[in-house]
């Protein structure tokens, strides 16, 4: 199975900062077959980005995704207080199984 490794494990930033989150796959996920989710405490994950760079419906344009193959990035251009959460990447380039990264916690 494809293993996704996210870095850093925890990212400490302030509102207004730019956040850059990384997701690296153990082998190619077939071009851009990667999604990103945001999870807040006590809630289910919510879709942010699919196909590596396409924003889901209703997602603000401060969220952007990039990358292909084995290296992917989620960028939040200007952090809002509600953006502090845990972020997961998910691959569907070679499945089953669908696999997720271990998460990056974005904290103030």
Partner 1 sequence: QVQLQESGPGLVQPSQTLSLTCTVSGGSVRLGGYYWTWTRQHPEKGLEWIGYIYYSGSTDYNPSLKSRVTISIDTSKNQFSLRMSSVTAADTAVYYCARLFWSNGLVYFDYWGQGALVTVSS
Binding site for partner 1 (CB under 8 A): 1, 33, 35, 37, 43-47, 50-51, 56, 88, 90, 92, 95-103
Smallest gap, in angstroms, from Cβ of residue 78 to partner 1? 25
Smallest gap, in angstroms, from Cβ of residue 19 to partner 1? 19
Compare residues 18 and 98 and give the one whose CB is closer to partner 1: 98
Smallest gap, in angstroms, from Cβ of residue 75 to partner 1? 19
Compare residues 14 and 57 and give the one whose CB is closer to partner 1: 57
Q: CA angle, 72 as apex, 60 and 48 as ends, to 5°? A: 25
Half-sphere exposure (Cβ direction) of 21: Cα atoms closer than 13 Å: 36
Distance (Å, rounded) from C-alpha 85 to C-alpha 63? 13
Smallest gap, in angstroms, from Cβ of residue 16 to partner 1? 29
Compare residues 37 and 63 and give the one whose CB is closer to partner 1: 37
Distance (Å, rounded) from C-alpha 1 to C-alpha 9? 21
Compare residues 73 and 100 and give the one whose CB is closer to partner 1: 100
List the end-to-end C-alpha distance of the chain, in Å, as a whole number. Answer: 34
| Alpha carbon 23 to chain centroid, angstroms | 7
């Amino acid at each position: 199975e494809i293993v996704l490794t996210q870095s850093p494990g925890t990212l400490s930033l302030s509102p207004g900062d730019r956040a850059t989150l990384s997701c690296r796959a153990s082998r190619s996920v077939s071009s851009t077959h990667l999604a990103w989710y945001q999870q807040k405490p006590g809630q289910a994950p919510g879709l942010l980005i699919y196909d590596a760079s396409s924003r889901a419906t209703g997602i603000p344009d401060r969220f952007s995704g990039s990358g292909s193959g084995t290296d992917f990035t989620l960028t939040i251009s200007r952090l809002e207080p509600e953006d502090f959460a845990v972020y997961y990447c998910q691959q569907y380039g070679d499945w089953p199984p669908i696999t997720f990264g271990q998460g990056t916690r974005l904290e103030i």
